[in-house]
Structure 1
Amino acid sequence: MVAPLIAGDADFVKAKFGRGGGRVTELTAKPMLKVFFLELAGISQPLGGVIAAKASLLKKLTFESGYGVDIGLLIDAHLKGARICEVDIGSLEHDSQPLVDLTTMANEVARVIHHYSRHAGRLHVEQISEMHEEQRLASASFDYIINRRKDRRKVVLLDMDGTITPNQFIQDLASFTHTEEALAVILDLYQNDAGTREQKVAEIFKFTHRTQFEKVAMSMPIKLGVVEFVNQMKRNGFMVGLISDSYFIAAEIMHKRIFADFAIVHTLKFRNDVCSGELNLNKDFYPDRSHGNLQPCKSNVIKQFLSKNNKPSFTEVWAIGDQLNDLDMLLLADKVFVIDPKSPGLLKHKHIKHASSFEDLSQVDVIV
């Protein structure tokens, strides 16, 4: 860690370890940094206490008391013009802290970030709602999910539209907002370009209030047997999650309605609870977690669950879908099923089994 200091490449060095941070890091520190100090949003472990720095810099910094010390040093160093870098030191094991301690930590971290943002002239009322939005969206990432797995080593990945629901969310939303014709044009023009199509569809819903998204997601029918299947798999030691090309605002509601553990989806931007028409394609849908020029694909998400870098690694991964855009994901899973398949091409693969319903799927043998 002192190498960048000796080489003259940095003034302040943070340790980078493991896949992601804990709950306070992912749900408080990182979302707040994205809003108030975007320049520091790429720091993997903003609350990590392992640092190296020049003595001349440390003498100028303010050392906050309590849990706010690490984030305070990072922001203060940045505001004083320090060159900051990260060094990967491998992995560290931490014991989980009680909820009451995490609450105290989150409050302290938030207080320090607010203090420095006000000092830097960056604290504005409209940013508060944006901060809450970033905190909600943080739970849509693989890193956050993997830190909540506890001891579970098996996972079921469910497609949302057409699989657990008979309808497509964007179709229902377009009907609710009277934008069916505009949606039909975009789906026809960009049917072979998933990335562009998703961005164009998001623009249709610009100026749509958050409550309209939520009403549609709450009113969508759920197929028979879905909730029972999810609960059964959880009792058998599986994590259960949604993986969808839809929007987090809908999938967040839907995964709670069926008692699943998580949802990995794309995220719409909201400002003061109104959709901006901007879509952030989830980085987990891209290979090597970079956007590049490749199309987003669910297969890149399942590859992360299958990766041996997970400690401990997952021993069994199930995937359930219904459309051709699920195919690359389905072919990678250990056990694969389609329900109400929308293309006969899905059934050409011996690896893929056809289940007539979720009640039927509940009869499948599970390795416990």
Structure 2
Amino acid sequence: MKAKYRRRFGFKATKNGPALQSTIVKACASVVIPALNEAKRIQEVVAYALADPATDEVIVIDDSSIDNTAMLARQAGALVVTSSMLGKGTSMRDGAAAAIQDIVVYLDGDLANLRPGIITSLCLPLLNNEADFVKARFGRGGGRVTELTAKPMLKVFFPELAHLAQPLGGIIAARRSLLQALTFEDGYGVDVGLLVDAYLAGAQLAEVDIGSLEHDSQPLHDLTFMANEVSRVIFNRAKLAGRLHVEQVIAMYESQRQVTAGIDYVLSLRKGRRCLLLLDMDGTITPSRFALELARITGNEAALMQMLDTPHDDAITRSERIAGLFRFVHKQQFEQTARSLEIRPGVVELVNQARRAGFMVGVVSDSYFIAAEIIRRRIFADFALAHTLTFEGDVCNGQLQINSAFLPDDDDADAPICKSNVLRCVLADKTPPPVELIWAVGDNLNDLEMLRLADNAFVIDPKSPKLSEEPGIAVINAFTDLVKLLGHEANLVDQK
């Protein structure tokens, strides 16, 4: 039976990759699949697991499904065991108890389009004594609960685990002896709980890239409950480890705020949209500049103007020096200034029409995320990307963190930090469908490279004649000029 599945899922001897591994790895793993009403895909997942040469057995732990999950799993060749109690954590524990091999690999029951050899890849660090607990890494980043809850909390309470891409992922390989010593939570926090427990138990951890992953998304109302469960588990582990302090909780919320400024979070919001509209903030959405207004209000206008008149400084050095001006300024002052900035007429209408036409709309700024996020919400855009200032006790400490989406590729380290790199990040996103149409609107020379990369580029109130003279960039008098163009462009994309 296993030979049939191996042919079906493409295992054959080649010079590299999983196929080579399949010639040297023998059956060594019990594959456990917790399942609740997974009739749609359970047979495919079981067949996939049986096709892997590292698989010795497949155990489906059925959480008393009311569809045909159990029957279909048996037909596909799995041993089916009814869970001793409702809940994924109990199912995972029951699966480890039923396993006959010392290596246990967990898969979700709703996976699809997996590349061949993932089970083998997960087992290799264990077989080579390089790890006791292995997490799968897939895609560019995690979902909303991963990026907004799990990662910021781990960064504060367990920074040793902050580098892991998918702390909530349910695809895990571990030694059965280790699993039997860990606590299996009942709810959504089971996977991160096992990760933290394994680390605290002194286990050697590893992460394996398994490529892209397709599975059913959680409904929005489930995400809130999931975030609460994940938070509860991490708080609990931090308390047990003696790491739960008021200062860390404050730092955690600051870390969560900064996550929404990251490109991984932004890409998770795309949800299949193929059109993108990027709007510069200072001078484009708002006629005035945020830093100038904040400097005026806080009595730093003269010092700021002096810094702006130092052409020998590079952009980052200047930005860091300007950030230092706002040290000891309370967060409320940043927020009040951003709320008081004038918005150009027609911006809100443009954003609304663009989103209706299928565009994802973002604010991209060289200024500060705390301001760009408020402007984003004022114009009803989908996201904001800007550099972040850090706050301690709601007071700015003057430290600037450059947004990684603005950084050049590693192989082009001499390239400048630029908004155009945001476009490159979006275009490099492998999540289907690809982005096929990009509009961008700016007003100054620091927007030029972004405008050059866009399919349709526009400037409003240009601050340099070079922008007006640049081929492919159109000058608009008002944002309402763009509304009429949106429907036609989006329809062309839909017809492809």
Establish whether TM, by shorter chain, passes 0.5.
yes
Alignment deviations for residues 326-366 of structure 1 (CA, whole Å, 9 cap, x no partner): 11111111100011111111122211111111122223353
SS of match in other structure, 1:208: coil
Matches within 5 A, 1:67-216: 67-189=188-310, 192-216=313-337
1:359 aligns with 2:480: yes
Matches within 5 A, 1:321-360: 321-360=442-481
SS of match in other structure, 1:65: coil
Q: Is the 8 A contact 2:408 2:416 kept in 1?
A: no
**Structure 1, 166-175 or 297-306: larger mean CA deviation:** 297-306
Q: Distance in 2 between matches of 1:6 and 1:295?
A: 44
> 1:308: Cα distance to partner?
5.8
Q: Is the 8 A contact 1:306 1:317 kept in 2?
A: no
**Map of 1:304 onto structure 2:** 425
Q: Is the 8 A contact 1:283 1:290 kept in 2?
A: no
Query: Would the alpha carbon gap of residues 293 and 315 (structure 1) be closer, same or farther in structure 2, given more than 3 Å must change?
Result: closer
Q: Is the 8 A contact 1:213 1:249 kept in 2?
A: yes
Query: Would the alpha carbon gap of residues 187 and 80 (structure 1) be closer, same or farther in structure 2, given more than 3 Å must change?
Result: farther
**Map of 1:2 onto structure 2:** 123
Q: Distance in 2 between matches of 1:19 and 1:364?
A: 33
Query: How many percent of aligned residue pairs carry the same amino acid?
Result: 58
1:275 aligns with 2:396: yes
Q: Is the 8 A contact 1:224 1:358 kept in 2?
A: yes
Q: Is the 8 A contact 2:134 2:207 kept in 1?
A: yes
> 1:191: Cα distance to partner?
5.9
**Map of 1:237 onto structure 2:** 358
Q: Is the 8 A contact 2:273 2:433 kept in 1?
A: no
Q: Distance in 1 between matches of 2:370 and 2:215?
A: 32
TM-score by length of 1: 0.95
2:383 partner letter: F
Matches within 5 A, 1:1-80: 1-80=122-201
Q: Distance in 2 between matches of 1:42 and 1:291?
A: 24
SS of match in other structure, 1:47: coil
Q: Distance in 1 between matches of 2:303 and 2:129?
A: 56
Q: Distance in 2 between matches of 1:288 and 1:85?
A: 26
1:219 aligns with 2:340: yes
Query: Would the alpha carbon gap of residues 289 and 24 (structure 1) be closer, same or farther in structure 2, given more than 3 Å must change?
Result: farther
Alignment deviations for residues 93-152 of structure 1 (CA, whole Å, 9 cap, x no partner): 122222332222111110110111111211111222222222222221222122222232
1:88 partner letter: D
SS of match in other structure, 1:249: helix
Q: Distance in 1 between matches of 2:143 and 2:463?
A: 40
Q: Is the 8 A contact 1:283 1:289 kept in 2?
A: no
Q: Distance in 2 between matches of 1:291 and 1:136?
A: 30
> 1:237: Cα distance to partner?
1.0
**Structure 1, 164-173 or 341-350: larger mean CA deviation:** 341-350
Count of residue pairs the alignment pairs up: 368
1:249 aligns with 2:249: no
2:474 partner letter: K
Q: Flag structure 1 segments of 5+ consecutive residues without an equivalent.
A: none
> 1:260: Cα distance to partner?
0.7
**Map of 2:112 onto structure 1:** none
Match for 1:313 among 434, 441, 455? 434
Q: Distance in 2 between matches of 1:333 and 1:299?
A: 9
Q: Distance in 2 between matches of 1:289 and 1:108?
A: 37
Query: Would the alpha carbon gap of residues 190 and 198 (structure 1) be closer, same or farther in structure 2, given more than 3 Å must change?
Result: farther
Query: Would the alpha carbon gap of residues 12 and 288 (structure 1) be closer, same or farther in structure 2, given more than 3 Å must change?
Result: farther
> 1:153: Cα distance to partner?
1.0
> 1:293: Cα distance to partner?
6.3
Q: Distance in 2 between matches of 1:308 and 1:122?
A: 36
TM-score by length of 2: 0.71
SS of match in other structure, 1:62: coil
Q: Distance in 2 between matches of 1:294 and 1:362?
A: 34
SS of match in other structure, 2:485: coil
Query: Would the alpha carbon gap of residues 238 and 26 (structure 1) be closer, same or farther in structure 2, given more than 3 Å must change?
Result: same
SS of match in other structure, 1:157: strand
Q: Distance in 2 between matches of 1:110 and 1:308?
A: 29
1:223 partner letter: R
Q: Is the 8 A contact 2:335 2:371 kept in 1?
A: yes
**Structure 1, 65-74 or 95-104: larger mean CA deviation:** 95-104
1:224 partner letter: P
1:165 partner letter: T
Q: Distance in 2 between matches of 1:292 and 1:123?
A: 39
1:42 partner letter: H
